[in-house]
Chains A and B, each alone.
Chain A
Amino acid sequence: MVAYTIRRLLQAFALIFVVATLVALFIHAIPGDPVYVILGENNVTPERVAAVRRDLGLDRPVPVQYAEWIGAVARGDFGKSLISGRPIAGDLALRLPRTLELVLVSTLLSVLVGVPLGVVAATNRNRLPDLAVSTLTLIGVSAPVFVVGTLLVLVIGVQWGILPAAGYVPFRENPIEHIQHLILPCVALATLETAILQRMTRSSMLEVLAEDYVRTARAKGLAGRVVVYGHALRNALIPVLTIIGVQIGSALGGTVLVELIFNWPGLSSYLVTGINQRDYPVVQAVVLLIAALFILLNLLTDLCYAVVDPRIRYG
């Protein structure tokens, strides 16, 4: 197990390095130049452009810039934003927790709502509860996150006014307002996850409920609840766990739209602004961070798998 973990970690580092290289290549390859963003189009003269390029080190060949960046990152130095001059590491440290909060709370929400609904649907197969829930989740799976998000903003935020339409309040400033601002974006993010988890749980449960050992448990006279929750669910959850791990990763991607719609100052909005402004070091740093998180998350999920299911052993 330990050897396996170490091997996976080494693979992870290699993978992260590949991602970093690809991103650096891509962002430099697309047209658009941060120098013009910095100067503002009305102030552009060839001399100023050359001066800014020199100051920012953008006049060096891309491989040289890249090598310097990789070296700096290895030392923990993520450099400074080309546009604002602020140290990137500082902004990453500020914004990462905000995005993680969205991802983790929405995942928690989706587990708390999706899994029980999946059990309900499985144990009431093809009867009203099952059909009702299935219809809801069909909508949940089909509706894009930006549609759900915008609807929530318009109906709950603007028309009914029960929750703030958008924005962010730091927890230490006002915990209640912070939570009020957290609700809608997490609901928007959680909608798809909940639907997927519900369906996954339902089908997994149905499979398990048809197994021989469940029939045996019932034949032994165990109460229905004990059979369902004590035996069936625990086994049904194994594939669900894998899905949750994948979901957290894709939720990370979903935050791009959610942060935009709800004005949540997290990592994804930082990335989008960076791309729009061609802020190369910012884009490279954020993608590197997200890739690292995603890869490590997958590793964690695989390890959890081994913990939860005693039949799985890694060599």
Chain B
Amino acid sequence: MALATGAHLFDFSQAPAAIQEEPQPGGELTYGLSADPPNLDPQVDSGAAASTVKMLVYSTLARYWSEGQIEPNLAESWEVSSDGLELTLVLRPGVTFHDGAPFRGEDVKASIERMQDEATGATLQVEMSAIEEIILDDDMTVRLRFAQPNPAMIEYLAQPDAAIMSKAFLDSGTDPNTAMVGTGPFRFVSREPGVSTVLERNETYFREGLPYLDRITFVPYPDENTRVSALLGGDIDMADYVPWKDMQTVEDDPALKLALGQEAAFMCVIYNVTEPPFDNPLVRTALGYAYDRQAIVDAVFFGRGSTMTGGVIPSSSWAYNAELEGTYSYDPERAKTLLAEAGFPDGFSVTLLSTSQYGMHQSSAEIAQQNLQAIGIDCELALFDWSTVVQRQTEGNYQFRIHGLSPELVDPDFLTNFFDSASPFSQSSGFADEDIDRLLVEGRSAQDEAARKAIYLELEQRLLEISPWNFLAWREQGEGLKEEIQGYEHLPGSTGFKSAVTLEATWRQQ
């Protein structure tokens, strides 16, 4: 599955490839995280910050690497059978776990079965349940059998949540929430809750010569301003999730630099389509012309982002539909006309749900509110803390809401989790469209890329036609780090959340 070259996505002014120096082994890194990892189970998502730590200790069968491409990791190679129902993985020989035990097929089988087990609560439980059978042809060959073609499976196996754990470790009864034994470039040393999590180089890592760093100390800095201050003051070498308001400050600082990825995540408006006025697709489409997307990019993200005037498949994807750009634009007059056509010439009153806990959500909501007032819609904001918002949105207790999301996969099948009528999003917003459901299945089963691309074009056209969501803007995000830290790459697009793996090739100039 090839990706279009990410040249226009990746911020080349920070490209480590431009540095002439040879990597120098040794040195330590202090990384300020946006949260303290609550627990260490690699197959159960406990937040992006925890993921950052886990993906350095555990490995997956395949992984995202430079420019967001999928490459072999614990699996040396793989192939899909001609009927699409079997995925055969050939495992890499000579790999050992941090406790010395050899890595073999039985570890893969045990790890997948653990994810399939409901009791584990694994993030990928549903996705892994699509695997009907796991056959070990021999110690180093694993065959996965599905009931239906599953082109996205290799991507799911590249998610950090699909971590491969040692069968011996799992059998021993040790609690994976407090101990970590993996095959990754770093091994777990210690953890003091709220204070630090320490990792050290894995001397027996299966990639020769890597990692370069001796040790990484993760320190939680939940408050973003404190985190940036610590970075600016030199207390930490690296910080994740640099707030947009501080990106210029970090960039201007001669001792620091940014590592950003474009189209990392997007802001959108999600409508509860069960009740008026948003049960009428014409109303939703009308509103698509009311939002000033550029204002959101400028005011909320300080220009670090791009407007979404077409579909949601990002420009870095092979399935990107460039012809859909410009479907929507900032056209309040048109919005008013369409609203009148829909039967609301005088507008209406609605409440927009958002959160006060994240600045970008609240600011986007405020801009949307202003845009709607301008076309005669009386819009009130309902701002709650995150917990309350999640509860209300899950219960469908809203008229429409602002949300920030990221495609889970590079493969366009990420649309299933968003728009399939059985997905949590659709369930809570009451959305169900037969055509979309059908196209999603067709997109999954079609065998070649050209056929799939045509299907996803039709799908996005349908989405834009009935607008269960209005897409607003992509945002850039990334890390701030000291100039002397080389070799770190923020992966493009949605794979940006998995950038921590590049720490294995990171070194510091000493």
Do residues A165 and B391 form an inter-chain contact, with CB atoms below 8 A? no
Chain B residue total in the interface (Cβ 8 A) = 44
Q: Smallest CB-CB separation from B35: which chain A residue?
A: A273
Chain B 413-426 against A: per-residue CB contact (8 Å), 1 yes, 0 no?
A: 00001000000100
Do residues B221 and A263 form an inter-chain contact, with CB atoms below 8 A? yes
Least Cβ distance of B473 to chain A in Å?
Answer: 20
A244 contact set on B, CB distance < 8 A = none
Cβ of B387 within 8 Å of any chain A Cβ, yes or no, is: yes
In the complex, what distance in Å separates the CA atom of A84 from the CA atom of B424? 24
Cβ of B303 within 8 Å of any chain A Cβ, yes or no, is: no
Binds A, one of B131-139, B187-195, B304-312, B433-441: B187-195
A260 contact set on B, CB distance < 8 A = 222-223, 226
Contacts A32-B388, A40-B45, A161-B233 hold; do A265 and B223 have CB atoms under 8 A apart? no
Do residues B223 and A36 form an inter-chain contact, with CB atoms below 8 A? no
Chain B 27-69 against A: per-residue CB contact (8 Å), 1 yes, 0 no?
A: 0000000001011000001110000000000000000000000
B394 contact set on A, CB distance < 8 A = 36, 41, 44, 49
Do residues A165 and B195 form an inter-chain contact, with CB atoms below 8 A? no
Chain B 223-266 against A: per-residue CB contact (8 Å), 1 yes, 0 no?
A: 10111011011110000000000000000000000000000000
Least Cβ distance of A144 to chain B in Å?
Answer: 15
Q: Which of A47-73 contact B (CB under 8 A)?
A: 48-49, 51-52
Cβ of B81 within 8 Å of any chain A Cβ, yes or no, is: no
Q: Smallest CB-CB separation from B236: which chain A residue?
A: A167
Chain A 156-182 against B: per-residue CB contact (8 Å), 1 yes, 0 no?
A: 011001001111101000000000000
In the complex, what distance in Å separates the CA atom of A52 from the CA atom of B47? 17
Q: Give the A-B pair count, Cβ closer than 8 A.
A: 128
Least Cβ distance of A133 to chain B in Å?
Answer: 31
In the complex, what distance in Å separates the CA atom of A167 from the CA atom of B193? 13
Chain B 400-428 against A: per-residue CB contact (8 Å), 1 yes, 0 no?
A: 00000000100000000100000010011
A150 contact set on B, CB distance < 8 A = 225
Residue ranges of B at the interface with A (Cβ–Cβ < 8 Å): 36, 38-39, 45-47, 118, 121, 123, 177, 192-195, 219-223, 225-227, 229-230, 232-235, 357, 384-388, 390-394, 408, 417, 424, 427-428
The 9 listed contacts between A and B (C-beta, < 8 Å) are A36-B394, A81-B38, A85-B39, A94-B192, A153-B229, A167-B219, A261-B223, A270-B194, A278-B387
* Given A33-B391, A164-B233, A273-B222, 14 new contacts (CB under 8 A): A31-B392, A32-B391, A34-B387, A41-B424, A42-B424, A43-B45, A44-B428, A45-B424, A49-B394, A52-B121, A86-B193, A153-B226, A167-B235, A276-B385
* Those 8 A-B pairs whose CB atoms lie nearest each other, nearest first: A265-B194, A32-B387, A84-B38, A165-B233, A36-B390, A32-B388, A165-B229, A158-B233
Residue ranges of A at the interface with B (Cβ–Cβ < 8 Å): 30-34, 36-37, 40-46, 48-49, 51-52, 81, 83-86, 91, 94-95, 150, 153-154, 157-158, 161, 164-168, 170, 260-263, 265, 269-270, 273, 276-278
